[in-house]
Structure formats: C-alpha cells, structure tokens
Structure 1
C-alpha cells in the first residue's frame, strides 16, 4: 500500500506521521489488492472554523483500491488523537467492505453450483 501525506501545519511532528504510517500499512490485511496497488492519502491539518471549538486538529484519510474509495475524517484536540480516530474509522469501513465482498463471493458460488447441479439432473 502506498501512503501519501499532506501536512499543512508545522506543528505536526515526524513521530505522528511515522505512527500513522505504521498503523495504515497494517490496514492492507483488510484489502485483497490482487494486481492493483492500494493508495492511502492522509491529510493532517489545523481545523478552521469556530475559534471556540475545542477540536483544533483534523485528519482526513482516503483509501483508493480497485476503483473503490473509502473516506474517514476526525477532529480532535491533538493531531495524534485525530489521526488515531480516523484510522479506526477507516479500519471499520475496510473491514465491512471485505465482509460484503466475501458474502457476495459465497452467494455467487452457491448460485453457480446450484445451477450446475440442476443442469446435471435434467440430463
């Protein structure tokens, strides 16, 4: 999985980026990349908007794999918390996508098996 970072604020430390890269690379186990390469785009920024808001950091993650795009976003007090929350959200999305893919594969396999058995019985 290729991981690209976009940092628009100098307060984002290299340790936050390294930790996020390590956690995102583990997410590839939820993907069946096959012949296509997955790409993750991570953006860590200082949130704009209401100055009274406590959540000052925003992390946005986009994962592109096999024509599908998954998106997660989080706003928290620190860049570490925002990044962890966004990674957990994208992990949940990828896990449910993988389960849907497996269910579809199982259903299609049972359909073709039933169709073949029906053809054999009629002959």
Structure 2
C-alpha cells in the first residue's frame, strides 16, 4: 500500500467542531470523516480516479490464528454468526431479577462489587 499523504488543513474552528461532532456520530475520527466526505464529493463529481485504493477498514484488525490466517473460513467478527447459545443482543444473558427491578451493570473487570480498598 502506498504511503498516505500528510497535509496541513486550516479550518474555521466552528467548521472543525461541526466535522468533529459529525465524525463522532458516525464513530469515525475527524480525519477519517474528512477523507470520507472528500471521496464522496469526488465520486459525485465523477472525478475520483479509478485506481484509487479503498478506504482503510476502521477498528481493530481481525484476530489471527497461530498460522497467521484469520478466523474460521476467513470470517471477520462482524460476519461470523453468533454461537447457538449466545444471549440475545443487548442483554448480558442472565435471567431478569426475581423482584422485576433493574439490575446494576457489571463493574470493571476483576471487580467483586465490594467497597474499594485503599
């Protein structure tokens, strides 16, 4: 892959703030949002070169097996079907509390739920 160009871009602070908010809404960095918008504008105007590379994928790369290959069948975590015993999306898999009340969200990893020790 060719090295990406680095440019200095001067923007009105309010324009930058609006771009940063929009990027956050779409879970992109401000830089990725600017590139996305530039590519879309070039495509709409019919000026995006045919040999331009695709946008880099966002997020963490798929986990590699010991042999360096991706997951089973080359599936990425987004493409892989959930396991048969997986809880429904948006739940933690535990049955609801018997009193019908809301359950507190789990604490940080390794937390036992007790008071903090100094």
TM range (shorter): under 0.3
- Considering fraction of residues, name the structure with more strand: 1
The TM-score normalised by the length of structure 1 is 0.22
- Considering fraction of residues, name the structure with more helix: 1
